[in-house]
Structure 1
Amino acid sequence: MSAVGHRLDTLPLGRFHRRLLFIGGSGYAFDGLDSAIIAFILPVLHELWTLSPAAMGGISSITYIGFFLGASLSGLIGDRFGRRPIMMWALALFCAASVLSALMPQYSAFMACRFIAGIGLGAESAIIAPYLAEFVASRYRGAFTASLAGFFSFGFVAAALLGTFVVPAGPQGWRWAIALTGAPVLLLLWWRRALPESPRWLESTGRHHEAAEILRIIEEESRPAGPSLPGNSVFPAPAPHTRLSLREQIDMLFSSQMRRPLAVSWSTWFCLTFSYYAVFTWIPSFLIAHGLTMAHGIGFSIAIYAAQIPGYFSAAALIEILGRGKTIAFYLFGSTLSAAALILSHGSAPIIGTAMALSFCLTGGYAGLYAYTPELFPTALRATGVGSASAIGRLGAIISPLLVGLMLPRVGYAGVFTLITVMLLAGAAIVLAFGPATAGLSLDKIDDAAESPTAHTLPEQKDRTP
């Protein structure tokens, strides 16, 4: 075990970790807020700029295209130059583009700003989970990272409130809603300036003295919460590592050792994200088709997003009990049952209740994935692996609304929800059958497995004892 890895694994969760969770999670809350607020301003922009259905769809898609680009690049850059610079620049880019989009007088300029905001959003979303996972002892890591994902739900609830009370408040209400999405990020940037670079990443690039100084500060903050902690001199530093070139990063990502983790992460992210956006893009029209009025719709939006909060945090509570793969599969199976119940429901109360259950289960699956994915990749590739999986998942967000739109006139909602259940079942089956076991493993063991020429994979999920 490396010097940094051993020292981090001796630490209890303390004040430093709580601050890290709050600051990192706040970024996810603003990510969720930005993603969700578009649904509430689209009707206003439709009237303001006389947009066609295709143009309205373009507003939703352009952010996801930017997200794909940002997530793909941030991982490569984050593994090469560090996690912290990406965290800061991605957040600043998102903040500037989001606020500027609120000022745009025409469709094309608004689209350009949304694309740039999407790049920042994708980079931010992809880098936070691997960054935080590298600070936490293995016995806490799953629940800690899953709790981080729970902050998305606060952003979705805030979007429902802004969409209900701010957007309809006047002709400029939509501009105020977007400005309120981006402007507070400046405060978050100020808080983040004090965050350190990942000591695991510093060690992996041979910067041992910087890693040791960061560890000393973390240990000082954690010391009152736990027993006496080892000092830097107790564990010798490993030999310096050479920073990988971009070509070496890509070659390592697609090497035989990474083949299974990459396939599992990409396919599971795609299946879940495809299903999530298929549901949340088309469920308003589903409700209208089943007789719910606009008044119902306002209450529904708040209720459906509020159901995400216990979804995320219940998965955080279960993940160290059931393990990563079983937790993800549990919520994906729950999502399939909820989707089937929704299509068979009649009346406003059963429909909203089953839709809330579907929201709960889908976000529980996401919490499991956010905790699991950083553990599939070694330190040298962690940001790249997570970024690539997040980007592939975002392809599902781009494809699914379009595909559902083509299918709906031909197969109806029953056919659409059948497709969603098939995708969810496929994701559950893949992670159960092929997902490497990571619960309880130190990140150093994951690094060793990736670097060893004979250790092509981590143990199967079925070999793991929770």
Structure 2
Amino acid sequence: MSNQDIQAGTLGLAPASSKSRAATAGAPAPAQARVGLDDVPLNAFHVKIAGLTFGAHFTEGYALGTIGYALASLNRQMPLDAFWTGMIGSSALMGIFVGSLVFGWLSDRLGRQKIFLLSFLIITVAALAQFYVASPFALCALRVLIGFGMGGDFAVGHAILAEFSPRKHRGTLLGSFSVIWTIGYVVANVLGMHYADASPDAWRWLLASAGVPAFLVLLMRIGTPESPRWLAGHGRIAEAKAIVLKHFGPNVTLDGSVEEHSHSGFGRLFKKDMIRRTVFNCAFFVCLVIPYFAIYTFLPGILKVIHLNEGFGADFLLNGFLVLGALMGIWLTIKLPRRTFLIGSFAVTCLSLVALSVLPNSATVAMIVAFAVFTLTMSAFSNLVGVFPPECFPTEVRACGVGLAIACSRLGSAVGTFLLPLGIAQLGFHATMMVLAAVLLIGMVVSIAWAPETKHLTLNEASRS
């Protein structure tokens, strides 16, 4: 062996003579370069995880969307006053409040996969049981239970998809939650418009039908692997590497994806280094969903108040705008900085509701335009509720952070949904829209002050920006 060969060997390289011999012998090409989990190319496994979470959001949108039309039919069998109308309309949101806190906390301690299954077992059973309710109280209790399961799925679904997604596609995948949720919501609305009055018990079939997609999602989630980021953070490195090897290949590494999990739980969210992002995520989420749920839970009644309920034209148009807006939101999430998209959308939706509050009922075309602009924009930037929270919190408290933001948002939206019928009855439609516009203005101010820019960062970098 030559001196040149010996020197190459000491550096961990193949000797020159070996290289030439290997080349002439037709040796295989060198191994692929190592790549981190944040930069792995999108593959079939990413699509599968996204599909499982998207199926869940379709079910959740559908389950929440059925109640608006079911209430009108239900009221003929079990007359409801304003109290029970508000309670049933907001009951799932109250369940989400509790479920997101409980399951978010459990997910950070026990792992993502267990909650990924349990949440949909609860949703499936409770959704099907709605067929047999005999009182407003029983329906309200089952809707709370459905929401409890949804809260768990929101917390763990956002966390697990964020922890598997490469940063190049993370915003698109997380933002698509809103699109799929909206499609489920609109499908429920369309079915409700056509079949809620088909028979005296049509509302039972409508509500219980949410159990069908829930059961399918539950079956498909069996066998889902644990998040390797969560495993690595809890010292289970070998298991994490095995999952990465199985689903992403031998050239993918956990380097840069592992975070120390010395502190966890809700208390960690209010430490000095994290309290700002905690308050921001809770505040902007609350201000976004209060008008969304308040208006669209009672969309048929609102359209009647402003005399846009003749036929299905306005209803179909607005539901179409919900889907179109959600699709626009994916494109805008890719093209715009996160902050710009969020702040600008708060401004547009606020101005739209101000217009609705000052326009007379006789200005039908102008009110449809204002409502359409509100619907398009609200649906578009609702994508960001699936993006900001999982990006802003580190792995050890990601599910807790997402769960807390969801809990606060659902508490606010439950209160708003409960109060909307009372507000319209006591204050009138126009004053109620002005109050909701003020909520959106608060969201814009909070976002200007505290929204981070996380678009091009790795998941670890984004959670510490």
Q: Shorter-chain TM-score: which interval?
A: 0.7 to 0.9
Once the two structures are TM-superposed, the CA of residue 404 in structure 1 deviates from its matched residue by 4.0
The residue aligned with 1:453 is none
Once the two structures are TM-superposed, the CA of residue 400 in structure 1 deviates from its matched residue by 1.6
The residue aligned with 2:356 is 342
1:203-214 paired onto structure 2 within 5 Å: 203-214=232-243
Once the two structures are TM-superposed, the CA of residue 243 in structure 1 deviates from its matched residue by 7.0
The residue aligned with 1:325 is 339
Residue 336 of structure 1 aligns with an amino acid whose one-letter code is C
The residue aligned with 2:324 is 310
Residue 338 of structure 2 aligns with an amino acid whose one-letter code is R
The residue aligned with 2:24 is none
What is the rounded CA distance, in whole Å, between the counterparts of 2:192 and 2:339 in structure 1? 36
The residue aligned with 2:461 is 445
1:116 to 136, 145, 149: 145
What is the rounded CA distance, in whole Å, between the counterparts of 1:77 and 1:267 in structure 2? 23
What is the aligned length? 430
What is the rounded CA distance, in whole Å, between the counterparts of 1:57 and 1:404 in structure 2? 8
Over the aligned positions, Cα root-mean-square deviation in angstroms equals 2.4
Stretches of structure 1 lacking an aligned partner (at least 5 in a row)? 221-228, 450-457, 459-466
Q: Per-residue CA shift, 1:307-358, capped at 9, x if unaligned?
A: 1222222222222332212111222222123223334274544433432321
Residue 13 of structure 1 aligns with an amino acid whose one-letter code is L
Moved over 6 A (4+): 236-239
1:257 to 253, 265, 273: 273
Q: In terms of mean alpha carbon deviation, does 435-444 or 343-352 score higher?
A: 343-352
Residue 317 of structure 1 aligns with an amino acid whose one-letter code is W
Distance 1:34 1:439, change over 3 A: same
Give the structure with higher Rg (CA): 2
The residue aligned with 2:37 is 8
The residue aligned with 2:82 is 53
Stretches of structure 2 lacking an aligned partner (at least 5 in a row)? 1-33
The residue aligned with 1:359 is 375
What is the rounded CA distance, in whole Å, between the counterparts of 1:144 and 1:292 in structure 2? 35
The residue aligned with 1:137 is 166
Say whether the 8 Å CA contact 2:70–2:196 is kept in structure 1.
yes
Q: In terms of mean alpha carbon deviation, does 378-387 or 18-27 score higher?
A: 18-27
1:28 to 39, 44, 57: 57
Once the two structures are TM-superposed, the CA of residue 392 in structure 1 deviates from its matched residue by 0.4
Residue 115 of structure 2 aligns with an amino acid whose one-letter code is I
What is the rounded CA distance, in whole Å, between the counterparts of 1:183 and 1:282 in structure 2? 24
What is the rounded CA distance, in whole Å, between the counterparts of 1:161 and 1:41 in structure 2? 12
1:271 equivalent to 2:292? Answer: no
Say whether the 8 Å CA contact 1:33–1:181 is kept in structure 2.
yes
Distance 1:417 1:106, change over 3 A: closer
Q: In terms of mean alpha carbon deviation, does 332-341 or 61-70 score higher?
A: 332-341
What is the rounded CA distance, in whole Å, between the counterparts of 1:409 and 1:172 in structure 2? 28
Residue 96 of structure 1 aligns with an amino acid whose one-letter code is V
What is the rounded CA distance, in whole Å, between the counterparts of 1:182 and 1:237 in structure 2? 37
The residue aligned with 1:62 is 91
1:230 equivalent to 2:251? Answer: yes
Distance 1:212 1:169, change over 3 A: same
So what's the TM-score if we normalise by structure 2?
A: 0.86
The residue aligned with 2:25 is none
Q: Per-residue CA shift, 1:343-384, capped at 9, x if unaligned?
A: 427454443343232111112221012111111100001110
Question: 2:387 is paired with a residue of what secondary structure?
Answer: helix
The residue aligned with 2:100 is 71
Distance 1:183 1:364, change over 3 A: same
Percent of aligned positions with the same letter in both sequences? 27
Say whether the 8 Å CA contact 1:205–1:243 is kept in structure 2.
no
Question: 2:323 is paired with a residue of what secondary structure?
Answer: helix
Say whether the 8 Å CA contact 2:179–2:323 is kept in structure 1.
yes
Question: 2:286 is paired with a residue of what secondary structure?
Answer: helix
Q: In terms of mean alpha carbon deviation, does 314-323 or 185-194 score higher?
A: 314-323
1:301 equivalent to 2:309? Answer: no
